[in-house]
Structure 1
Amino acid sequence: MITSRTAKECGTADFGWLQARYTFSFGHYFDPKLMGYASLRVLNQEVLAPGASFQPRTYPRVDVLNIILQGAAEYRDSAGNSIRAQAGEAALLSAQPNVSYSELNTSASQPLTRMQLWLDACPEHENALTQKMTLQDTTHFLLASPDGEKGSLQLRQNVWIHHLDLGAGEQITLPVRGPRAYLQSIHGQIDAQGSASRELQKLACGDGAFILQENSLTVSAITPLRALLIDMPV
């Protein structure tokens, strides 16, 4: 089963210095039916004005993945760690209890646009406090995984995050390891079909889709496409 979650259905915010779209309940946006999906707690796309920042705040025990789409950011924690990332890079924070984290748009003239995911972390797993990678210029690569396979970022949870970059008319089929996954269009239009589905699910720019009980997913790019497939066996 593939069920869409359109960009128009998502929660939004506009505080002047911050514009945001929330797939799941976050901040002032609350929907008791959308508190996350399996271990995926948060999936936001946010734009921070030049020089804007999130003041220090604490997180639950989650891995915080930031995919920088435009501009540059700096992440700092109260333990003295920091990491910088710019467009074309991803930064992963292994959030710790009793540690606060801040985020800064380091440019005085350019907005910072990024995707942010929170993934529940297994209590018995510990990884490097910060990780960073340059996104590959390829049709498909593994962005994050439990074991850091193929040079991917290492998560504290059994989740595999695939990054897709397809030209118009291109198609790819990916295996789905478990009963649940989530497909997110960063930009571009998609025809998505699972191994058990008979009908195509059409997604527009910014739309997402819940994937349930599919052994594989075929993604066809109607327009130039950039997307994430978040595979969550548990």
Structure 2
Amino acid sequence: MITCRTAKQCGQADFGWLQARYTFSFGHYFDPKLMGYASLRVLNQEVLAPGASFQPRTYPNVDILNLILQGEAEYRDSDGNTLRATTGDVLLLATQSGLSYSEQNISNVTPLTRMQLWLEACPERGNDRVQRLNLSSHPHSLLASPDGAQGSLQLRQEIWIHHLDLAAGEQQTLILNGERAYLQSIHGTAKVNGEQHSSQNLTCGDGAFICDEKHLTIQAETPLRALLIDL
């Protein structure tokens, strides 16, 4: 099954200092049918105004993956650790019980645009509290995995996160490890085909729930950036 969820169907927020689109229930946006998908709890696309910040808060036991699309962010925790991430960085924070975390757009000119995922962590697993990598220019790269394969970030869960950066007309076929997956278009239009079901078309900001597919072929109809989250 491949089921499209368009950008217009997602939750929306515009607080002036923050503009956001929520795939699943988050903050003021609540849908009891969309509390997450398998171990993927949050998938937000957010823009913070210059100088804006999220105040310190605690989190459940999750790995938080931030993909910086534009701008520069500073992250702090209540232990006094500080880390900056800029355009093209992928940052993984393994939240810890008792710690609070904050985030700030440190530019007074440029908005901070990023995608944020919360991935439910297995309590029996451990990983580094902070990990980062810089996106490559390859058409396909593995961003995160359970064992840190191919230099990817290591997760506390059986999840594989792929990044696609395709020119118009290019395609990639990926093998799925889990029974479910979620495909998110960052920008661009694509045709998505599975072995068992007819194709779906995604455009900028759209996503797709994928179930019971072993292979997924993604063909870019325009220049495309996308995330495939293999659950």
TM-score (norm 1): 0.98
Give distance in 2, aligned partners of 1:92 and 1:150: 16
For residue 212 of structure 1, what is the aligned residue in structure 2?
211
SS of corresponding position for 2:138: coil
Residues 165-184 of structure 1: CA deviation (Å, up to 9, x unaligned): 00001111000111100000
Q: CA-atom RMSD, angstroms?
A: 0.6
For residue 70 of structure 1, what is the aligned residue in structure 2?
70
SS of corresponding position for 1:205: coil
For residue 172 of structure 1, what is the aligned residue in structure 2?
172
Give distance in 1, aligned partners of 2:61 and 2:51: 28
Tell me how many residue pairs correspond in the alignment: 231
For residue 199 of structure 2, what is the aligned residue in structure 1?
200
What are the ranges of 5 or more consecutive residues in structure 1 without an aligned counterpart? none
Give distance in 1, aligned partners of 2:199 and 2:215: 14
Give distance in 2, aligned partners of 1:155 and 1:81: 20
Q: List aligned pairs for 1:22-101, cutoff 5 A.
A: 22-101=22-101
Runs of 4+ in 1 over 2 A off after TM superposition: none
Give distance in 1, aligned partners of 2:105 and 2:129: 21
For residue 190 of structure 2, what is the aligned residue in structure 1?
190
Residues 150-209 of structure 1: CA deviation (Å, up to 9, x unaligned): 100111111000000000011110001111000000000010011111x21001100000
Give distance in 2, aligned partners of 1:39 and 1:208: 16
Give distance in 1, aligned partners of 2:82 and 2:32: 34
| Offset, 1:98 | 1.1
What are the ranges of 5 or more consecutive residues in structure 2 without an aligned counterpart? none
For residue 3 of structure 1, what is the aligned residue in structure 2?
3
For residue 125 of structure 1, what is the aligned residue in structure 2?
125
Percent sequence identity over aligned pairs: 70
| Offset, 1:127 | 1.1
TM-score (norm 2): 0.99
